[in-house]
Structure 1
Amino acid sequence: MANLWKNEPIVRSADPIGLFGGGFVGSEDLNLVLNRVTSVVAADGGAAVLTESGRIPDAVIGDFDSLDKATKAKIPSDRLFAIREQDSTDFDKALRNVQAPLVLGAGFLGGRLDHQLAVLNVLVKRQEQACILLGAHEVVFHAPRQMRLPVSPGDVVSLFPMRPVTGRSTGLEWPIDGLRLQPDDQVGTSNRALSDVELQMDGPGLLVMVPRAALDPLMQVFLSGQSERWPVHEE
């Protein structure tokens, strides 16, 4: 089993990477992710759903406190990467150690609220890595500096700031121009698309939620270079 390494990604891919957490993953979510990626990574206990489906993850990353012995025995030792520190979540450990144009994650939303909040915190903290997470009814991602949202008129577009942010929008029923969005004051949930929606943000920190039906065109937006990534977050 591998332990700590020098500041190189554990998994690097020129294509999207699938990332699985230890939360609930429906059969539809499992197939949806596997059909859209070439490399698959598990965050600790997320390895179970993969091995049960017959897919051995390319890497398992985490502190291994939720990786059961039966699952661990199915995975070659050179694919196990233990990070024992307890100052970060398994989602954080995994996301900061992969490099790809896009990460598609399942098994991180739903379940315990504290776990979900920690996951959303990491989406913003690891702002340099484009990542889309599957929810039961929507997908969520950290807004890049600017992008076009592939949504249809009438679609719900929810915007939630994890820190004070400002920006501009077109195509939303309630534009964000001139607003200072922040978690303890003005937020932008349950907005609605009137036409093509574009966002331009002045800084990182905004989470965007759109319907699951938008997943494939949303992936193409990220993969086509139509969005500009934020620089690496300085810790």
Structure 2
Amino acid sequence: MSNVLNILIIEDEPAIADNLIHVLEMDGYQVSWFATAGEGLNYLKANDPALLVLDVGLPDGNGFELCKTIREFSGIPIIFLTARNDEIDRVVGLEIGADDYVTKPFSPREMLARIKLRIRSRPIPESAPANQQKGPIQHSEDDLYPENFDYGFHGQMLGFTAVEFKILDKLIQVSANVLSREQLMIAADMAPEASYERNIDSHIKAIRNKLKKVNMSERIKTKRGFGYYYNAQDSE
């Protein structure tokens, strides 16, 4: 059985797709490319690619909406590739479940590095820790508990992405201790680039929005000028 990883690209501009395909195949990846949301979604439902590069503007749909659909059945790492550079678009993309956001024009080599990073960060069920085994779950004192690389509350899983889970998990592990953006980047296996530091803020906002479902968004605290910390005693 082949160990070659498959990267799924959903992008309607052939020139952009060709550049990315060339770099990926030169690095030993297999690539599946589709120009429409429908074709890409059908492929993903029938296969298990290692990562998805997803354009936002597609001829038959919106990449944001497609991402939300995918997150209903798959935890595949998703990198948005788009010409939309507004902060609100980046925040929305991360909040709905994407793991990274790259704007056009972009460096194919940089994209390759980001793809490798996200693949390394992907949770592997075969290596699941004890708290993911079947049977009674060991809840934390506030009943926010980890399970299958996600956090839940009273049986409701909150749908964190791989990056969000790693950030929240690290904050909970060192509860009440402030972590800098750089420390959270390291915890989430994010590339050590200055441009990534503000992405942490977007991920924190997404985490807070998901904790808000169970009235816990106030537990993620901001220490201005330093970073973030988790306070299990605070709820809305």
Compare the two structures and name the one with the higher strand fraction.
Answer: 1
Larger RCO: Structure 1 or Structure 2 (Cα < 8 Å, ≥ 6 residues apart)? Answer: 1
Question: How does the TM-score come out when normalised to structure 2?
Answer: 0.37
Question: How does the TM-score come out when normalised to structure 1?
Answer: 0.37
Compare the two structures and name the one with the higher helix fraction.
Answer: 2
